[in-house]
C-alpha cells in the first residue's frame, strides 16, 4: 500500500518530457513504464547517437541515460548536452560494480544530476529521482526568467514604459564608443516639456502623469525602432539617433514638435495641448565623449527654451565658450534655474 505523503508535498508535478537512452530494451521498457504511469511523456533511444539526434529535434526536461552504449556512450550524451548548453538534467543509469560506480561518480563531476543503479530497485524511487531532476530544471528556468524580468524592470520607467535613465546612460556610453570607433555620426535629442509645472499646478499630479504618458507615446510613434527613446527623469526625455547627423536629427525633432502640437491630451474632462523644447547635439568623427554630448544637448536645450520654447535648437560650438565665459556651468539644472518663471 502506498502511504499518503505529508501535507503540502503531494502536489503532482506537471507532466515532463523525458528521454530514455539505453541499449537494453528491457531497461528502457521498465523506465518508460514507471514514468508513463506517473503521467510523463517519454521518448526512447537505443544508443547515444540516436539520443543526440532526438536532443537536436526536441527539448527534454530530463535525460535518463545508460553509460555503456554503442556508438556514443553516456559520457558523449552528457558532454553534448553541456556543450550545447541545453537546459536538461541528466540521470545516469549504471551497474553497481566498482568500476561502473567510479564512472557514475565521474559523470556526476561532469554535471550529471544523479545516478540510478541497475537493476532498478523500485519504480517509485526511479520516478522520484527523475521528478527531482525535473523540478531542479524548472526551478532554474524560473530563476533565469525572474532575473531577466528584474533586469528589464530595473531599466524601465514604470510611468511611461520607456527605458529609464540608467538604461540611457548605458546606451549613450555604448553608442558614443561605437560612433568613435567606427567614425559614424551619432545624435542626441534632449526633450523637455514646456511649462510643465503649470500642468501639475492646474491639474494635479495625476494630470501631469497623464501628460507624461501621452508624451512618451508620441515620442515612440515618431522615432524609428532603432532609435532609442528614454525618460531621462521628471519631464525630460532623451532620444539617441545612431548613424544620424544633427541635420537628420533636426528633421526628426521637427516631426516630433509637429506631432506634439497636434496632440490633444485628455486629463479628466479637459483636453490639453502641450509643447516641448528640444536640444540637439551630434558627434562627428568622434569629437567628444558621452559627458560632452550631454553637455552639448543641454546647452542647445537651454537655447531652445530661451528662444521662446516649442522649438528645437542644434548645439553650436560657440555657445559653449560663451556660456563658459559668462560663468554658466553644469547641466541643464543651472539653465533651468534661470528659466524658471517667477512664482
**Residues in touch with Mg ion (CB under 5 A):** 192-193, 196, 235
d(C-alpha 63, C-alpha 109), whole Å: 17
* Footprint of ligand GH3 on 187-206 (CB under 6 A): 192-197, 200, 205
Strands 270-272 and 265-267: what pairing? antiparallel
67 SS3 class: coil
CB of 305: closest distance to Mg ion in angstroms? 8
CA atoms within 13 A on the CB side of 70: 4
Mapped to the 3 state alphabet, what secondary structure does 269-307 carry?
A: CEEECCCEEEEEEEECCCCCCHHHHHHHHHHHHHHHHHC
* Footprint of ligand GH3 on 266-305 (CB under 6 A): 305
CB of 163: closest distance to ligand GH3 in angstroms? 16
**Which element (helix H / strand E) includes 54?**
helix 48-57
For residue 80, count other CB atoms closer than 10 A to its CB. Answer: 16
Q: φ and ψ at 195, to 5 degrees?
A: 45, 45
Of the candidates 48, 74, 208, 279, which one interacts with ligand GH3 according to CB under 6 A? 208
Stretch that binds ligand GH3, among 25-33, 208-216, 258-266, 311-319 (CB under 6 A): 208-216
Between 65 and 160, name the residue whose CB sits nearer to ligand GH3: 160
CB of 336: closest distance to ligand GH3 in angstroms? 5
217: contact with ligand GH3 by CB under 6 A: no
Between 196 and 302, name the residue whose CB sits nearer to Mg ion: 196
d(C-alpha 183, C-alpha 284), whole Å: 7
Stretch that binds ligand GH3, among 99-107, 126-134, 186-194, 323-331 (CB under 6 A): 186-194
Annotated catalytic residues are 235
Whether 218 contacts 240, CB under 8 Å: no
Between 114 and 192, name the residue whose CB sits nearer to Mg ion: 192
**Total of chain residues touching ligand GH3, rule CB under 6 A:** 18
The entry of Mg ion, ligand GH3, none near residue 319 (CB within 5 to 8 angstroms by kind) is none
**Which element (helix H / strand E) includes 4?**
none
The entry of ligand GH3, Mg ion, none near residue 284 (CB within 5 to 8 angstroms by kind) is none
The entry of ligand GH3, Mg ion, none near residue 219 (CB within 5 to 8 angstroms by kind) is none
| Residue nearest ligand GH3 (C-beta atom) | 208
**Interface mask toward ligand GH3 for 228-247; x: CB under 6 A:** ------xx------------
40 SS3 class: coil
Across 170-252, where does the E strand assignment appear?
186-193, 228-233, 236-242
Q: In terms of Cα–Cα distance, which of 157, 254, 170, 167 is closest to 213?
A: 157
Which residues make up the interface to ligand GH3 (CB under 6 A)?
Answer: 192-197, 200, 205, 208-209, 212, 234-235, 305, 309, 336, 339-340
Amino acid at each position: 500500500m502506498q502511504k499518503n505523503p505529508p501535507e503540502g508535498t503531494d502536489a503532482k508535478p506537471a507532466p515532463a518530457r523525458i528521454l530514455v537512452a539505453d541499449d537494453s530494451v528491457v531497461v528502457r521498457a521498465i523506465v518508460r513504464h514507471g514514468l508513463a504511469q506517473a503521467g510523463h511523456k517519454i521518448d526512447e533511444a537505443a544508443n547515444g547517437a540516436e539520443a543526440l539526434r532526438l536532443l537536436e529535434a526536441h527539448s527534454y526536461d530530463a535525460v535518463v541515460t545508460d553509460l555503456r552504449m554503442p556508438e556514443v556512450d553516456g559520457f558523449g550524451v552528457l558532454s553534448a548536452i553541456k556543450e550545447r548548453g541545453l537546459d536538461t538534467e541528466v540521470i545516469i543509469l549504471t551497474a553497481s560494480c566498482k568500476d561502473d560506480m567510479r564512472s557514475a561518480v565521474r559523470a556526476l563531476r561532469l554535471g550529471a544530476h544523479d545516478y540510478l543503479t541497475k537493476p532498478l530497485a523500485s519504480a517509485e524511487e526511479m520516478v522520484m529521482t527523475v521528478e527531482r531532476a525535473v523540478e531542479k530544471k524548472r526551478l532554474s528556468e524560473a530563476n533565469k526568467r525572474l532575473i531577466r524580468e528584474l533586469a528589464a524592470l530595473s531599466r524601465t520607467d514604470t510611468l511611461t514604459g520607456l527605458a529609464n535613465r540608467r538604461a540611457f546612460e548605458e546606451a549613450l556610453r555604448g553608442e558614443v564608443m561605437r560612433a568613435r570607433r567606427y567614425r559614424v555620426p551619432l545624435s542626441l535629442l534632449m526633450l523637455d516639456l514646456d511649462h510643465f509645472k503649470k500642468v501639475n499646478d492646474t491639474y494635479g499630479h495625476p494630470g501631469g502623469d497623464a501628460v507624461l504618458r501621452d508624451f512618451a507615446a508620441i515620442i515612440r510613434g515618431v522615432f524609428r525602432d532603432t532609435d532609442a527613446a528614454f525618460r531621462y527623469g521628471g519631464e525630460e526625455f532623451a532620444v539617441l539617433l545612431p548613424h544620424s547627423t544633427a541635420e537628420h536629427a533636426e528633421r526628426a525633432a521637427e516631426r516630433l514638435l509637429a506631432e506634439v502640437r497636434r496632440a490633444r491630451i485628455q486629463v479628466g474632462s479637459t483636453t490639453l495641448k502641450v509643447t516641448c523644447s528640444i536640444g540637439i547635439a551630434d558627434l562627428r568623427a568622434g569629437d567628444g565623449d558621452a559627458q560632452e554630448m550631454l553637455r552639448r544637448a543641454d546647452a542647445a536645450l537651454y537655447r531652445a527654451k530661451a528662444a521662446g520654447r516649442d522649438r528645437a535648437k542644434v548645439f553650436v560650438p560657440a555657445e559653449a565658450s560663451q556660456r563658459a565665459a559668462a560663468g554658466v556651468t553644469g547641466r541643464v539644472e543651472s539653465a533651468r534655474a534661470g528659466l524658471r518663471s517667477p512664482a
